Structure 1
């Protein structure tokens, strides 16, 4: 998806774990970790979301894409405490997580998180 939309990323890099995507790059992460986006995917979460905390402890936040309909409010609160944001289809957000402040639709993720980061990275000569 990121490749098709021309967003810069490195895949499966080792940074205290192995997130699916690191944006914009491992090189930038080494220079300025808080300016990077760590994005990983899990079809279902159960307790596996906790491994994400080890997949990059220095990024601005962790974004976890899922289609899991069974994330409890307690789990969402714990995720929020670790700066983990769930990214899911809008229909799932509306149905299951409408009141959770750390659940974003894919559209929100691109519009409010990734696109502003892209502008910042371009303006600062990162990409």
Structure 2
């Protein structure tokens, strides 16, 4: 069991886990750029190509980035934490964790224990530490997974021909990820504007969704980028109905729309959003941009 001193050193904004994340895991934007380089290497995207393959592209980007992130996370957990704490300057800030790791190294160097006994002793000593580290990373993974898809959606919409027709992180009642076509247009005639927010899942901070999108004006689209398997457990009829009551459209992967919510008019597939919803709204906000 971890002592309070060890727990304090591991957790929090100044804890060892947070320090390791910053040292060994790229930022959301950096990871998104790596993903684009991998998915679209030597590919010249056209507007028609992006619109036609929007669902496949967004799914591929989100899923590829998640796997890249898990790789960095594994490296950070298995190597980064110990590497940092054994650094003389860094380790001085985390003496209890450093002592625990040094004790484990002494066990490995023991001349009185056989190999099986060494492994058992190290496992017993380090297990509580790594369990807590893994739990902390798992909790951070949920919030991290919701941030990066915004970069992918933004770049796809730019490549689909909407580069100058939205603004990001605008504060209305709450902060929204995308406001079409602009804040100036919103202030002139909000009825022709739309709001887009994107999350990994509805489970992720679900109770805050309505606070963030509690805007009595404009048309609101909420993207959920989770996989079909995740959606089976997460996106329920009751959640869809509640979103509908709040005048929020839920935008999901095409497979989820076609298989699970084909009759729900407030659930829209990725392809329909880029191919039908945005063009229809663009015709309405066009005059605001020309004025």
Instruction: Give the equivalent residue in structure 2 for 1:36.
Output: 193
Structure 1 residue runs without a partner (length 5+): none
Give the root-mean-square deviation of aligned CA atoms.
1.9
Instruction: Give the equivalent residue in structure 1 for 2:86.
Output: none
| SS of structure 1 residue aligned to 2:170 | coil
Bigger helix share: 2
Q: Counterparts of 1:100 and 1:47 in 2: how far apart (Å)?
A: 22
Instruction: Give the equivalent residue in structure 2 for 1:113.
Output: 277
Instruction: Give the equivalent residue in structure 2 for 1:48.
Output: 205
Instruction: Give the equivalent residue in structure 1 for 2:157.
Output: 2
User: Which deviations, in whole Å up to 9, do the C-alpha atoms of 1:68-119 show, x marking residues without a partner?
Assistant: 4121111111100111111112112122222322100122122332101112
1:91 aligns with 2:255: yes
Whether the aligned pair in 2 keeps the contact of 1:19 and 1:52 (CA below 8 Å) is no
TM-score, normalisation: structure 1: 0.86
Task: Give 1:67's match in structure 2, choosing from 217, 222, 225.
Answer: 225
Asked which structure has the greater CA Rg, the reply is: 2
| SS of structure 2 residue aligned to 1:114 | helix
Structure 2 residue runs without a partner (length 5+): 1-155
Structure 1 stretches of 4+ with a deviation exceeding 4 A read none
Bigger strand share: 1
Change over 3 Å in CA distance of 1:13–1:42 after alignment to 2: same
How many pairs align? 126
Change over 3 Å in CA distance of 1:76–1:109 after alignment to 2: same
How far 1:27 moved relative to its partner?
Answer: 0.8
1:126 aligns with 2:283: no
TM-score, normalisation: structure 2: 0.40
Moved more, 94-103 or 11-20: 94-103
